[in-house]
Amino acid sequence: MEYVNYLLMALFVLFIVNRFMPIKGVRNISTAELKNELKDKHKSFIDVRTAGECNGNHIRGFKNIPLHQLAEKAEKEFSKEKEVIVICQSGMRSQKASKLLKKLGYTKVTNVKGGMNAWF
């Protein structure tokens, strides 16, 4: 029985570590670095927060596609040839979105660490 508890604990730790590990092939930038990236017209910008969150405050140039709609809309809205920069409120959803975009075949994906919380 004790063996099962250790196994469950190990699986839980592995799950937590996996959630917070950087995604292979995804660049992470700070909001200070983002300010320079916004000038580049050859990049796509996605805000994966809900529409209500974006209405409250947003960064000009970012297209709002909530995370739950990203898989169905990404290929219609964004070229896989361009770098895609993703933001959310805290950096967690954008990290999930970055992982999803990599699975969809996007090769140049950038996550904004800290999200909108770090923007101000």
Q: Pick the closest to residue 48 from 120, 115, 118 (CA basis).
A: 115
The whole-angstrom separation of Cα 57 and Cα 55 is 6
The whole-angstrom separation of Cα 28 and Cα 6 is 34
54 is catalytic: no
The whole-angstrom separation of Cα 53 and Cα 7 is 39
Catalytic residue among 67, 86, 87, 88: 88
DSSP string, 1-47: -HHHHHHHHHHHHHHHHHHHSPPTTEEEE-HHHHHHHTT-TTEEEEE
Question: 22 is written with which tokens?
Answer: 């950087």
- Residues annotated as catalytic (active site), given as ranges: 88
